[in-house]
Structure 1
Amino acid sequence: MTQQDSIRSGLTRRQCLAGAAALPLFTILPRRASAAEFTYKLATGQDPSHPVNKRAQEAIDRIKAATNGRLEIRLFPANQLGSDTDLMSQVRNGGVEFFNQASSVLSTLVPAAGIVNTGFAFDDYEQVWKAMDGSLGKYVRSQIEKVGLLTMSKPWDNGFRQVTTSTRAINGPDDLRGLKLRVPSAPMLSSLFTSLGASPTPINFNEVYSALQTKLVEGQENPLAIISTARLYEVQKYCSLTNHVWDAYWILGNRKAVERLPKDVQAIVLREFDRSANDERADTQALSKSLRADLQGKGLQFVDVDKKAFKAALAKTSFYKDWRAKFGDEAWKLLEEGAGALA
């Protein structure tokens, strides 16, 4: 049982009554909202308009109300407190208490987190949530805990990733050859595109727009929600709907900061971030359906590709064999339970 499972089990009625009886009267009287016992920060890399920040703020507001102002969490979106890699260090040392991180980037610290990004593993959301709300998600959470971080909810949805370019349309796997493509600092994505003949270049997200604008790279890959909110359509011409990788967002907590909170407050935090996870998942899936028309209106040209052709090209390389060896048979079996057999 993970730390989160223990928290989620809640307090027994006897524990609650005994704890209340032991407190001085003034501690159980209603608190003014301004009298926060704990003031924490939640940092994200996404634009304020992204569903992650909308739903995170709603969770924060509910947490403050449900704890009667005991815990106040302040949201810092759009890499205000540093790049993704900077923030991963900050949340580990306690400079930031909570942080939203994609599995693809988290894999640089927790290699097992990258298994969800295995190229062309998931066909649709039914497969994704079967795996992530089941055994595979539980396994990844347990691996994250080993580095001193806690997952504060079920995984949120970063969406299926698509390839955009400024120089040429990507119609099939052969078109990727030699393409200078920005990827996050994520071994899985670098490996995937290297296997398909591209030239992946890791760049922090807060530098992506300028890298595309100055033609340091020709293209990039991200979910449609990110392409929209980061206005990448302004510096890209084509979008190929490859669905090459699904990615998760994890709300991560510094272990000491979380354990410093009273048990009842911890339970509220987990409950409300879980609720917002469900809302954000629905938002992202709805956006993925509506954004194509919106982005087309802004000049982005969409290319419908044969995803099976990309997967078949990948299967001819050592990609799946190599990553199975890295993750191990146990983890790979959990992936295939949700996604189906991989070459």
Structure 2
Amino acid sequence: MLKKWMLISVSLILILVVLTGCGARSTDQNTDSSNTDKSEDVDTNTKDSEPATETLKKEEVIVIKFSHVVAEDTPKGQAANMFKELAEKYTDGRVEVEVFPNSQLYNDDDVLAAVQQNNVQLAAPSTSKVSKLFPQWTIFDFPFAFEDVASVQAAMESEEIGGKLFKMLTDQDLLGLAMWDNGFKQMTLDDHPLYMPEDFEGQQFRVMSSKVLEAQFESVDAVPTPMPFSEVYSALEQGVINGQENTLSNIYSKKFHEVQRYMTISNHGYLGYAVITNDKFWNGLPDNIREQLQKALNETTQWVRENGERLNQENLDKIIADDMLEEIHYLTNEQKQAWIDVMNVVYEEYEDEVGADLINAVKELRDN
């Protein structure tokens, strides 16, 4: 009997254990169910909050990368920083402009492709670089095409010149927003002073990538050497090239005068920058943002026009104060005319490529 009673007791204990286990599993299942319900509540709340999320997305900061190749204390460098300040101010922080000077992201040979691909949203390449896509833009490279900065501004504001050139850009997913002046170019050389056209013979000059600029130096029997702006100083220092042409602000900021001995104030060529963006990016901006960016750009452009010449004069004063050049020569009227007479062949050589209409419009502007 005792054995039988012990067996019954063990059986009862086992049954209780099993029942307890089932109860525990039941409790766990209830807990999981409760958690699932809470999870669903969270999901439901998330769905209810989607409109708020969309609102946040609409208020996200728009980042504009602005790439250029010159130093920050040049007219273009200062203009880029001014645009950044005004753009961020007028959009109440909705836009953040990241400025990359000194070819930190792209040199002028590559930046237009980067804008087309929207890798950067703003660039201000020289007009010579734009001519790689549109030969007509080399009109700004023609020697002695413009008498002064006012003439350049008049050309860009005219439908025959500026209007026509900017319209071309949209064919390549680009959009022209403004023209920033850097002023007129001067000549530097290490070997000897440049007075007359024959003084150029055999000398190797760096040029921007432009057939017209190459033709300009070839007309005076010099050797043009296309080269990115970022490489010019070392090429001058190492004697790879003998000379170069550039604005006073670029000559001073890049210290070209430290590795050259002679400079001629010739004002023979204009150097300007086309402020260019990606067409789809710009037109895809909210209307109110685009309006404020355009306002910032207009004010910056006006500042450039009013201060570009002043900044170049200040840089000339600094070059003189540094006293590292052996001579700074100012072309006389007779010497200037001799340069014009020899270099005029460029107009005939590139009339078909650039277009007689553009060349005639520039000549008419120059003669008036």
Q: TM-score, normalised by structure 1?
A: 0.85
User: What residue number does 2:19 align with?
Assistant: none
User: Could you tell me which of 177, 187, 203 is aligned with 1:152?
Assistant: 177
Tell me the percent identity.
27
Q: Alpha carbon RMSD of aligned pairs, Å?
A: 2.1
* Partner AA of 2:176 in structure 1: T
Q: Deviations over 1:204-261 (max 9, x none)?
A: 0110000000000000110111001111111111111121111211111011221221
Does 2:346 align with 1:322?
Answer: no
* Partner AA of 2:236 in structure 1: L
Q: Deviations over 1:161-202 (max 9, x none)?
A: 111011111111110111100111122211111122110000
Does 2:340 align with 1:311?
Answer: yes
Q: Could you say what secondary structure the match of 1:122 adopts?
A: coil
- The residue correspondences of 1:2-41 to structure 2 (distance < 5 A) are 36-41=60-65
Name the CA distance, whole Å, in 1 between partners of 2:103 and 2:116.
16
Residue pair 2:68, 2:107 contacting (<8 A) in 1 also: no
User: What residue number does 1:213 align with?
Assistant: 237
Report deviation, 1:329.
Answer: 2.5
Name the CA distance, whole Å, in 2 between partners of 1:167 and 1:186.
24
User: What residue number does 1:14 align with?
Assistant: none
Name the CA distance, whole Å, in 2 between partners of 1:60 and 1:292.
27
* Partner AA of 1:334 in structure 2: A
Does 2:104 align with 1:77?
Answer: no
Name the CA distance, whole Å, in 1 between partners of 2:364 and 2:302.
22
Residue pair 1:36, 1:69 contacting (<8 A) in 2 also: no
Name the CA distance, whole Å, in 1 between partners of 2:170 and 2:328.
40
* Partner AA of 2:298 in structure 1: D
Residue pair 1:42, 1:98 contacting (<8 A) in 2 also: yes
Report deviation, 1:25.
Answer: 10
Residue pair 1:110, 1:147 contacting (<8 A) in 2 also: no
Name the CA distance, whole Å, in 2 between partners of 1:97 and 1:292.
33
* Partner AA of 1:312 in structure 2: D
* Structure 1, unaligned runs of 5 or more: 1-23
User: What residue number does 1:337 align with?
Assistant: 364
Name the CA distance, whole Å, in 2 between partners of 1:67 and 1:292.
37
Residue pair 1:36, 1:72 contacting (<8 A) in 2 also: no
User: What residue number does 1:265 align with?
Assistant: 289
Name the CA distance, whole Å, in 2 between partners of 1:172 and 1:338.
26
Does 2:187 align with 1:141?
Answer: no
Report deviation, 1:43.
Answer: 0.4
Report deviation, 1:281.
Answer: 2.4
Name the CA distance, whole Å, in 2 between partners of 1:95 and 1:26.
27
- The residue correspondences of 1:1-343 to structure 2 (distance < 5 A) are 36-135=60-159, 136-153=161-178, 155-298=179-322, 299-300=324-325, 301-305=327-331, 306-315=335-344, 317=345, 319-340=346-367
Report deviation, 1:55.
Answer: 2.0
Give the stretch that moved more between structures: 277-286 or 330-339. Answer: 330-339
User: What residue number does 2:7 align with?
Assistant: none
* Structure 2, unaligned runs of 5 or more: 1-50
Q: Could you say what secondary structure the match of 2:166 adopts?
A: helix
Name the CA distance, whole Å, in 1 between partners of 2:80 and 2:294.
12
Larger Rg: 2
Report deviation, 1:125.
Answer: 2.2
Give the stretch that moved more between structures: 225-234 or 143-152. Answer: 143-152
Name the CA distance, whole Å, in 1 between partners of 2:186 and 2:209.
17
Residue pair 1:40, 1:97 contacting (<8 A) in 2 also: yes
Name the CA distance, whole Å, in 1 between partners of 2:211 and 2:306.
28
Q: Could you say what secondary structure the match of 2:146 adopts?
A: coil
Q: Deviations over 1:287-324 (max 9, x none)?
A: 23333332122222211122221001223x3x211222
Residue pair 1:152, 1:269 contacting (<8 A) in 2 also: no
More helix by percentage: 2
Q: Could you say what secondary structure the match of 1:85 adopts?
A: coil
Q: TM-score, normalised by structure 2?
A: 0.80
* Partner AA of 2:350 in structure 1: W
Q: Aligned residue pairs: how many?
A: 311
